[in-house]
Chain A
Amino acid sequence: MTTPNEKTSSASDLWRLNLLIWATLMALLFASLALAYVPMGFLTPAAGIIIGFAKAGLVVFLFMELASSRALIWLAALSGLVFVAALFALTLADVLSRSG
């Protein structure tokens, strides 16, 4: 089986790809900083969180190489996400449905 690392054989290839990911992460960081000062109602805090998910996605899929990992690794990664989603969904279902 060929891994992504066997395809990129030189150090400059590794740098080129990873620097591109890093530049995107930095651009997203400054985008979230700038958008925090724009009054857009509930969209202002939402923008920071959404950009956070985009940054985390780049780190998980590319730096942590989940995109090229086997199904077993996906299972472990998704288990954390599923349980956190349940934690948020069940708690917020209570908090947001309270009257007064």
Chain B
Amino acid sequence: MTDTSTQLREPWANFSRQQEAGKFGIWVFLASEVLFFGALMLTYTVCRIEHTEAFAAAGRETNIWYGTANTAILLTSSLTMAMAAQAAAAPERFRRLVLGCLLTTAALGLAFLVVKGFEYKEDIDKHLVPGSHFALPQAGAQLFYGLYWLITGVHAVHLSIGIVLVSRLILLGYLRKIELRENPEVEVTALYWHLVDIVWIFLYPLIYLPGRAS
């Protein structure tokens, strides 16, 4: 077992209670995040019901290869994040494995943002920003792209926060300022990262798949 006394924080009397509280706290936070993104997806759903054809036409204009590549990148980052969290929680010493998986996770997160940047550039070049020079004639298509920029933008902010949190663990763990083994901060960061992945799992069929069969 790790000496957990250095990781024990106030107001908890023992480390296992602290671990439980940390895990419960992040799950409550994630539930609030589900409501936040849920409200945005509900707005999308209502607009899509009202403008079915326009949403199909707008969906066809998205770049499915960027979207699919980014989904694969985030799913892979969830694999490395899960490995980091499980290796950190294991009784054996897996310090190098934990650090390697955290580093890969952060790199995949950055790769997602780079691909998204290329995609945003292409969207701007194709005049897919709502406004007077918008490329598509349907009014509903402007609603689709208004929601596209809003939701993917908010998601990118969440992912950027995740990259900062993972990078912090890598830096402090590498410098041995914190003990990664059995550290609740690793589990809490991993749970946040997975939620950001789950949000994208639902955004993928909503943004990139509409209108492909018609």
Chain A 22-37 near chain B by CB (<8 Å), digits 1 or 0: 1001100100110011
Residues of A within 8 A of B89 (CB): 3, 5
Contact A15 B49 (CB under 8 A): no
Chain B interfacial residues counted at CB < 8 A? 52
* B52 CB, min distance to chain A CBs, angstroms: 9
Interface residues of chain A: helix, strand, loop or mixed (majority): helix
C-alpha spacing A40/B23, complex, angstroms: 42
Interface residues of chain B: helix, strand, loop or mixed (majority): helix
Closest to B83 in A: A18
B120 within 8 A of A: no
B175 within 8 A of A: no
Given the known interface contacts A18-B82, A83-B35, the answer about A33 and B46 at a Cβ–Cβ threshold of 8 Å is no
Candidate in A18, A49, A79, A87 with the most chain B CB atoms within 10 angstroms: A18
Given the known interface contacts A9-B91, A14-B87, A52-B201, the answer about A33 and B38 at a Cβ–Cβ threshold of 8 Å is no
C-alpha spacing A84/B92, complex, angstroms: 40
C-alpha spacing A28/B100, complex, angstroms: 27
B4 within 8 A of A: no
Chain B 180-193 near chain A by CB (<8 Å), digits 1 or 0: 00000000001100
C-alpha spacing A19/B205, complex, angstroms: 24
Interface size class of A (residues with CB under 8 A): 35 or more
Residues of A within 8 A of B205 (CB): 32, 36, 45, 48-49, 51-52
Residues of B within 8 A of A87 (CB): 35, 38-39, 42
A77 within 8 A of B: yes
Which A residues have a C-beta under 8 Å from some C-beta of B? 3, 5-6, 8-11, 14-15, 18-19, 21-22, 25-26, 29, 32-33, 36-40, 44-45, 48-49, 51-52, 55-56, 59-60, 62-65, 69-70, 72-73, 76-77, 79-81, 83-84, 87-88, 91-92, 95-96
